[in-house]
Amino acid sequence: MLIQLIFTGLWSIKFVTGGGSLQKLGVISGDHSACPLCDLIFHPHDLKFSDVGQSSDLEKYPISNFKETEVASTSEYCVHPEALFDQFINGLKKLDYFTNQICMIESWKRNQKEVISLYVDSKEISILFSELKKQLKQNKGPEEYLLAKKLLKKTQRNLSALKHLRLLSLGNFNPKIQDSKFSNMMLSYHNKSQVSEYIQASNLNIFDLNSSESNQDFGQPFLEELKKLLANKSIRKYFVELEHKNLFKKVIFWRYAFKTIEFLLVNKFVSEEAVRRLFHDEEIVKQVNIYTSACFLHEISSSLIGSPFDFTEHWYWDSLNVSFKALTKDDRTIIKFSFLLWNISHISSKVPELEHMNDWKIFKVSFLEENQYIRKIMSRKGILNDQKNQNNSRLDHLAVFEEDCEKIMNVLVILMQYNLEHHKINNPKLRDLTFLVCELLDSIANEFSPDSIKRNSEEKPERFVNFEDQFKLVLLYSRIKEVKETLTKFLQFIQNGNLSPHYSHLERKKIHETYYTRLLEDLTQFKDVYCRVEKRNDHLSEWLKYQVSMGYLAHGDQAWLKKLVK
């Protein structure tokens, strides 16, 4: 009966995408790449991207869809890309300093896709910067305001310089055979930028640095400057306070920052390795958590509060920013643990009855002190990766995590007992906390100490009687619940036409199959464990029946994002 309750509607999920429903959802075809390219070579101070119409795009469209929105808006002029290029080039030929730049014209035509992408990305960043300036102007006062204003201005100045250098690179500009007036004009706009300072300090000819490796010589220092902006706790808290007023619907600061990182990566000013290193900073990881939480809440109506689901594996996450796709499994693991621990800290504050228990106090000190456990994970992962062939040293470091698993198991025993005693009381916070702690135990065990749960259970049978089955039952139930909700929402997006056309038919089918396969695998395991638990007349099965019959869903509200500053 319990199995039927949990999976009501599961088979309908399987067949919703069958037949012709997905086949009707083909990718939108057609060339919509026309755009006013001449904007790219104007003086940066002459670019006007802050009009009402453009700013309103931030209200109407999520950041992940900005590019297709912009492409659609420019296509309203019905100008073919070739015709637009002709207009662009004819205008340039009238300029003195652009005489005889035929080679650049031909190069831009060959690289038309990249030039158009450069335009769209730089326009998006400029719109976001205009909105940030407006936001800052309306919220003057604290010291953080002045620091944010200074760093943002510096960031935008450097971006403008890099944009023009990228344009010249796409034109294969060669100062040895081409008129230097054009290059002098371009560089004169950026004499106060970090790029210009770097050139002057190193006596380099910037136009001899067109390779991606050379471009990174000045892209990397800029990334470090951007890190100062993103990793500043005071600035983070300042913008969280501002966004809290409008329920995190815009997250302008985070959109601007992550779009800038994407710009540097896409245009080869930084390497994927440099981006991955950036996301190893614990403060940057917190910014990822805030940005992801807000986007999920407002773009796909999914609250991450109380959810044990790893959002880095969610079908929507990679689409939020190109830089996220560069992250490896280890990088994503750090983000996963960071958000999981924050979630546990937040939910546990709503369960005050735990505070007087010694095992919970030990757990809090070990796992919930700010950033300490994340630092431990990052440090140990680095050591373990460096010592793959040094078995003895590796075992010493893994033993630390076996002790951690025992601390978590002690807390889970308490939580499961509490759930059994109060299973008829509507206490979803207690239930969510149990799910989260189960996920933490499973994640640490799988990552660092695979046999720790079994060993601890065998060594202390009186403490952990039937623990393995109870743990697996709760863990599998929470995962089934989360995956089912995620898959259902994905299919609703397809049916309602809200899914980005960037997702091809094959990609949609792959996402569906991935989640559905995971559901079936978890269901098979769940059935086996549940049968063993029920045969023992374990009261935990009664608790699960009650959870299913109540139909609880993961809960949350928009205000919780503010807590991330703590």
Per-position DSSP letters for 164-211, written without gaps between them: HHHHHHHTT--TTTS-HHHHHHHHHTTTTSHHHHHHHHHT--GGG--S
Structure tokens at 491: 């299919």
Tell me the three-class secondary structure of 232-254, residue by residue: CHHHHHHHHHHHHHCCCCCCHHH
Answer yes or no: are the C-beta atoms of 114 and 170 closer than 8 Å. Answer: yes
pLDDT score, position 139: 86
Cα torsion for 281, 287, 290, 296, to the nearest 10°?
-90
Structure tokens at 236: 């983070």
- Alpha-carbon distance 251 to 240, whole Å? 9
Answer yes or no: are the C-beta atoms of 467 and 452 closer than 8 Å. Answer: no
- Alpha-carbon distance 164 to 8, whole Å? 57
- Alpha-carbon distance 300 to 297, whole Å? 6
- Alpha-carbon distance 153 to 137, whole Å? 13
What stretches in the chain show pLDDT beneath 50? 2-79, 389, 550-566
If you compute the radius of gyration of the chain from its CA atoms, what whole number of angstroms results? 27
Nearest alpha-carbon partner for 266 in 198, 199, 321, 229: 321
Residues contacting residue 255 through CB under 8 Å, at least 6 positions apart: 63, 128, 291
The tens digit of pLDDT for each residue in 45-66 reads 332 323 333 434 444 434 444 4
What 3-state class would DSSP assign to 149? helix
CA within 13 Å, CB half, 180: 4
What 3-state class would DSSP assign to 566? coil
Residues contacting residue 361 through CB under 8 Å, at least 6 positions apart: 355
Nearest alpha-carbon partner for 151 in 32, 232, 255: 232
Answer yes or no: are the C-beta atoms of 513 and 38 closer than 8 Å. Answer: no
DSSP secondary structure string for all residues of 213-229: HHHHHHHHHHHHHHHHH
pLDDT score, position 189: 55
Residue written as token pair 């590019």: 67
pLDDT score, position 38: 36
Structure tokens at 7: 């999976």
Exposure string over 204-219, b if 16+ CB within 10 A, otherwise e = eebbebbeeeebbebb
Nearest alpha-carbon partner for 59 in 348, 255, 214: 255
pLDDT score, position 51: 31
What 3-state class would DSSP assign to 424? coil
Question: Residue 77 CB: number of other CB atoms within 10 A?
Answer: 10
- Alpha-carbon distance 382 to 301, whole Å? 36
pLDDT score, position 560: 35
- Alpha-carbon distance 511 to 319, whole Å? 13
Query: Quick one: the chain helix, strand, coil %, rounded to 5?
Result: 75, 0, 25
